[in-house]
Amino acid sequence: MGIFSGKAKSSSSSISGNKSKVRIVVAGDCGTGKSSLIATAASEKFAQHVPPVLTPTRLFADFYPDRVPFTVIDTPSSSENQNALTQELKTADAVVLTYSCDQSHTLDRLSTFWLPELRQLQVKVPVVVVGCKLDAVDDTTVRHEQLLSLMQEFQEIETCTECSARNLFQVSKVFYYANVAVLFPTSPLFDKKKQTLKPKFERALKRIFILCDHDRDNTLSDTEFNDLQIKCFNVPLPPSEVVDIKRVVQEKYPEGVNERGLTLRGFLILSELLLQKGSHELWTVLRKFGYDNDIKLRDDLLHVSFKRAPDQSVELTNEAVKFLKEIFCSFDHDSDGALQVAELDDLFSTAPESPWIEAPYKDAAESTTTGGISLDGFLSKWSLMTLLEPNKSLANLIYIGYVGDPASAFHITKARRLNSDKKQSERKVFQCFVFGPSGAGKSALLNSFLRRPFPEIYTPTTNARYAANVVYQDGGTKKTLILREIPEDGARQLVSSKESLGPCDVAIFVHDICNELSWKRATELLVQVASHGEESGFEVPCLIVAAKDDLNMYPLAIQDSTRVSFEMGLETAIPMSVKLGDLNDVFCRIVSAAQKPHLGVPKLEYGRNYKRYYKIFCRPFKFISVGAAVAVVGLAASRVYTARKITSS
């Protein structure tokens, strides 16, 4: 049978996930009919209807799902065999609990002993409750009500049925239900107590609906509906059955059907109705669309090899960016140019969860005044996720509806060392490591990049933090810049790894211009990083940033900064004040430095060790004799700096 009706033709793809065999353990009080149930099912008299359960070799695909063999295990009921019973239950794929229809106390024992015992043993498998000896009783009303109450109390019960081994009545269904409970469990899909779809399953159904809605009119037309049926079951539905299905849905929920076809809500209602009737074929639909037993897309669909050198990065292709722009516009329901929180939640409602609810993505992009995210911010977050976790980026692209070849969505950049040789980087996304001592202004710099207000209270950063945004350059070109703040105590750990500077396109060193100790520590970090780059082969362009330019600088600040810049072949320090909003075009200058990786690399004389640099840069500057050339550069820089201060004031 197909998802809605009609017989399905056999499919070559498995619909039972990774299960290759099923182990069914039968348990219950002594005398409830366990052994008779198993013996009848295994007897030659009944073999025309069911496969032999004790030696699972013959299979009847028309009766048992997905050609998966199964074994049935009888268990002892006596207390002296408790250990053997426990061991069998703990290795079961499904448990059949029996009671005798003519002995009411055996039914009571299910709720007072057997089901609590399974929970005590942490046997978390589907349970099928079976009443044996149905031929010995007439009335079923009382037991029916008791079974309904039992199913409400114990959600692990998949189904209840009654049978008669003597009359060969419904014995086959017992093991059919047990197999289905393992291969097509209801509990991950449906909350029996609330009679609603589980959230994860609803997200999957919504994605399937969107993928089948080819004309993007938010409904499944009869043609689209039939395409779904054929994809999953290889057989179309007669037009009359499609009409009947829509009628049933509309009776349950009038808005589930409109003049164009079945709405999303109608599709979800139909799924609820099927699960309430015990249909297992929604698993077929899930697996046809790539979902595994945990209702997540299979790993083989979400994995692409991103093998790359340390100084190569992963970027989104133009095709992927185009798709994301279309998705952004389609979910911007109020057309305000931003995705509000509810709209963003709706966009990721087909994924297991939003990928941006936690660090490092949660606060890594600019927010609008209404708390939404602009297109630039949206694309910047995708660029950040692609840079840090390309497989996660791929998975979420597919979850929100990307149907192209996964490899077409990503581009691995050239090694940065090759870019240095060509003296020009072709990258569209640059990562900048932000070094500096505590209190230097690193966090304020990241906040200003995201256009957030200047914080009056200083909060030290303890973990690496990211900020991603678009930088517009002269000529109308734009690049995505990702700032990674490195806490002061994290710098030593970072340079302990040979390849740690590989992902870094440019490094900046921030110091507090009014604090001489801050400058000294920033210089130490600069020398440390430059030395590590030279030793590891992953040299990076570096810039010095003099923060808090609104405060009085410490004596000799300009001369110290100029001397170090001159000796290491770097640009003079970039003064800026986040508090005053005077950033001196720092982000464009960072991008420019990253685009020309052959420039701005600190010049360390080959063989000069770190200790010597440490002594030169960190001893009291009043004892250092600066050369004439440095003095000239320092004087020139001083004049430029003074002129800038006068102009800005």
User: Given pLDDT bands bounded at 50, 70 and 90, which one contains residue 197?
Assistant: very high
| Shared-domain flag, residues 296 and 314 | no
The model's pTM is 0.78
The CATH code of the domain that includes 550 is 3.40.50.300
**Is residue 632 in a domain?**
no
pLDDT at residue 591, as a whole number: 96
pLDDT tens digits, residue range 446-458? Answer: 999 999 988 777 7
| Shared-domain flag, residues 463 and 584 | yes
| Shared-domain flag, residues 385 and 369 | yes
Output DSSP code: residue 399: H
Picking from 590, 380, 392, the residue whose alpha carbon sits closest to that of residue 468 is: 380
Q: Where are the alpha helices (DSSP H) in 131-263?
A: 141-153, 171-183, 199-212, 222-233, 239-252
| Shared-domain flag, residues 296 and 371 | no
**Is residue 397 in a domain?**
yes
| Shared-domain flag, residues 405 and 438 | no
Cα–Cα distance measured from residue 32 to residue 519, given in angstroms and rounded to the nearest whole number: 84
pLDDT of 245 > 60? The answer is: yes
| Shared-domain flag, residues 269 and 322 | no
**Is residue 217 in a domain?**
yes
pLDDT at residue 77, as a whole number: 77
Q: Find which of 40-44, 182-186, 270-274, 456-460 is predicted with most confidence, using mean pLDDT.
A: 270-274
**Crossing angle of the two packed helices 171-183 and 34-42, in degrees rounded to 10:** 90
Picking from 153, 176, 152, the residue whose alpha carbon sits closest to that of residue 161 is: 176
pLDDT of 562 > 70? The answer is: yes
Domain that holds residue 448: 418-618
Question: Averaged over 342-352, what is the pLDDT?
Answer: 95
Cα–Cα distance measured from residue 234 to residue 212, given in angstroms and rounded to the nearest whole number: 16
**Is residue 154 in a domain?**
yes
Cα–Cα distance measured from residue 598 to residue 592, given in angstroms and rounded to the nearest whole number: 12
| Shared-domain flag, residues 432 and 525 | yes
**Is residue 207 in a domain?**
yes
pLDDT tens digits, residue range 361-390? Answer: 999 999 998 899 999 999 999 999 999 999
Number of domains in the chain: 4
pLDDT at residue 66, as a whole number: 64
The CATH code of the domain that includes 393 is 1.10.238.10
Picking from 103, 108, 162, the residue whose alpha carbon sits closest to that of residue 131 is: 162
| Shared-domain flag, residues 404 and 471 | no
Least confident among 49-63, 326-340, 477-491, 556-570: 49-63
**Is residue 601 in a domain?**
yes
Buried b (16+ CB within 10 A) or exposed e, 207-243: bbbbebbeeeeebbbbebbbebbeebbeeebeeebbe
pLDDT of 6 > 50? The answer is: no
Q: Which two tokens stand for residue 456?
A: 């009056």
pLDDT at residue 281, as a whole number: 84
**Is residue 511 in a domain?**
yes
Q: Which of 255, 272, 300 is the last residue of a domain?
A: 300
pLDDT of 80 > 90? The answer is: no
pLDDT of 546 > 60? The answer is: yes
Cα–Cα distance measured from residue 166 to residue 173, given in angstroms and rounded to the nearest whole number: 15
**Is residue 55 in a domain?**
yes
Least confident among 30-44, 204-218, 485-499, 612-626: 612-626
Q: Strand pairing of 261-263 and 219-220?
A: antiparallel
Between 605 and 105, where is the model more confident? 105
For 541, counting Cβ atoms within 10 Å of its Cβ (0-12 exposed, 13-18 middle, 19+ buried), the class is: buried
Q: Which of 150, 183, 216 is the last residue of a domain?
A: 183
Q: Is the dihedral of CA 325, 331, 333, 334 positive or negative?
A: negative
Q: Which two tokens stand for residue 138?
A: 């007439």
Give residues with Cβ within 8 angstroms of 515, minimum separation 6: 439, 554
| Shared-domain flag, residues 52 and 166 | yes
Q: What are phi and psi for residue 23, nearest 5 degrees?
A: -115, 115
